[in-house]
Amino acid sequence: MMQNYPSVEQLAEMVRLLTQARIENWLGEGVGSWRWWALVVLMFVPWFIWAKLVDKKKLLELALFGMFIMVNSITLDELGFELSLWNYPVNIFPIFPRLSSADYTVMPVVFMLTYQYFPTWKSFFWALVALAFVFSFVVEPIIGKLGFYVPIKWHYHYSFVIYLIVGLLSRWLVRFFVDIMRKHNAN
């Protein structure tokens, strides 16, 4: 019987070749460029800012919220990249095709500070709307113009909705776990 689809071995070879091409491209065009250095700075500087501003009394709650944001950012970024919805011409690491600085640093830090400074549902919601607007309609177009991000089959208003959903869902999950913990500790 004739096979019309690639075998597991062929897929593995394609992945190996793609990874090799990414590494060669990164060594030739990415590493050491001003964009690469900007991403390296963005990978670390926000954490220093967060360390200065974080409310240490709520550290575990904020860290849990930040982890939810980080996991969602990484997952959605990987999904969008794999579906060719967008691309990142410059990466800190050649084998990770996502915008690592945003996924591991900028998104969790900014969202955690929003969670910290806007503690009620109402204030958090409106702060999140503003944050989603700025990220979607200001930051994404700017990083696109600077060559960090290339939307392929993506519109900025999709990002706006996703930022809202991820922020609200993450807050709901954290509040759910915190409430369970408080009830358990009260007994």
Inside any domain, residue 3: no
Inside any domain, residue 44: yes
Q: Nearest-CA neighbor of 73 among 40, 102, 43?
A: 102
* Tally of structural domains, the chain: 1
pLDDT reading at 102 higher than 90: no
Lowest mean pLDDT among 30-44, 113-127, 169-183: 30-44
What stretches of the chain show up as alpha helix (H) in DSSP? 8-25, 34-53, 59-82, 100-101, 107-117, 121-134, 140-145, 156-186
Inside any domain, residue 2: no
pLDDT reading at 14 higher than 60: yes
pLDDT at 5: 87
Inside any domain, residue 1: no
Q: Nearest-CA neighbor of 161 among 139, 128, 138?
A: 128
> What digits encode the pLDDT tens for the residues 138-157?
999 999 999 889 999 999 99
Confidence of residue 26 (pLDDT cuts 50, 70, 90): confident
- Which residues are bridge partners to 74 per DSSP? none
pLDDT reading at 92 higher than 70: yes
Confidence of residue 21 (pLDDT cuts 50, 70, 90): confident
> Domain of 89?
8-186
Confidence of residue 108 (pLDDT cuts 50, 70, 90): very high
Over range 111-131, report the average pLDDT.
98
pLDDT at 30: 76
pTM check: above 0.95? no
